[in-house]
Amino acid sequence: MKRTIIDASQLELTDKVVTIKRVTKVVKGGNNMRFTALVVVGDGNGHVGAGLGKAKEIPEAIRKGKEDAMKNLITVAMDENASVTHDFIGKYGSASVLLKKAPEGTGIIAGGPARIVCELAGIRNIRTKSLGSNNKQNVVLSTIAGLASLKTPEEVAAKRGKSIDEIMA
């Protein structure tokens, strides 16, 4: 997965909380309760990231998750229809997400966690299918892994040493 460092301060990022979980740690004196928040941030223009925050209070966990997501921003390759450039399966852990190219007017056909990632990335036409695990965190991370692995026709042509017309034929 390619990671290019993106300056989050120059982007107008919106964030969405995917899930908030209450987690406990059993210690000698009883249980330590904390909250974990899975947050996805994106600018709606080809940049998206996900992060996990843990804290004793929910707002603090969300803030930490948002900061973590800003550190993990990726750039998404999109075509003229605001769809993905080609079909791809993103994998993370036991979760896999199939990302299928869609024509203009299709909309976002995706389950909850994958839908949030696609919306915040700025993708307007895509079909996805969650395969394997339905764990929200792994589905979000596999969607992001798939989007990060997408290549534009220009990148493929340059790598193969051919023209774009030869690649698209």
Are 110 and 144 in contact by the 8 Å Cβ rule? The answer is no
The pTM for the full model equals: 0.90
pLDDT at residue number 101: 93
CATH code: domain of residue 53: 3.30.160.20
Q: What is the pLDDT of residues 19-30, one digit of tens each?
A: 999 999 999 999
Q: Are residues 138 and 125 in the same domain?
A: yes
Residue at a domain's end among 74, 104, 122: 74
Tokens 């024509």 belong to 103
DSSP state of 112: H
DSSP state of 125: S
pLDDT at residue number 4: 59
Q: Are residues 54 and 116 in the same domain?
A: no
- Domains in the chain, number: 2
Say which residues have a Cβ less than 8 Å from residue 65's Cβ, sequence separation at least 6: 17, 36, 37, 38, 39, 51, 52, 53
Q: Are residues 138 and 107 in the same domain?
A: yes
Is residue 163 a part of any domain in this protein?
no
User: What's the rounded mean pLDDT across residues 72-94?
Assistant: 92
141 is written with which tokens?
Answer: 């991370």
Q: Are residues 136 and 90 in the same domain?
A: yes
Q: Are residues 68 and 113 in the same domain?
A: no
Question: Using H for helix, E for strand and C for coil, what is the string for 51-68?
Answer: EEEEECCHHHHHHHHHHH
Is residue 165 a part of any domain in this protein?
no
Task: Show the domain range for 115.
Answer: 76-154
Q: What is the pLDDT of residues 107-121, one digit of tens each?
A: 999 998 999 999 999
Q: What is the pLDDT of residues 130-146, one digit of tens each?
A: 999 999 999 999 999 99
Is residue 57 a part of any domain in this protein?
yes
CATH code: domain of residue 98: 3.30.230.10
Say which residues have a Cβ less than 8 Å from residue 16's Cβ, sequence separation at least 6: 39, 40, 41, 116, 119, 120
149 is written with which tokens?
Answer: 């692995």
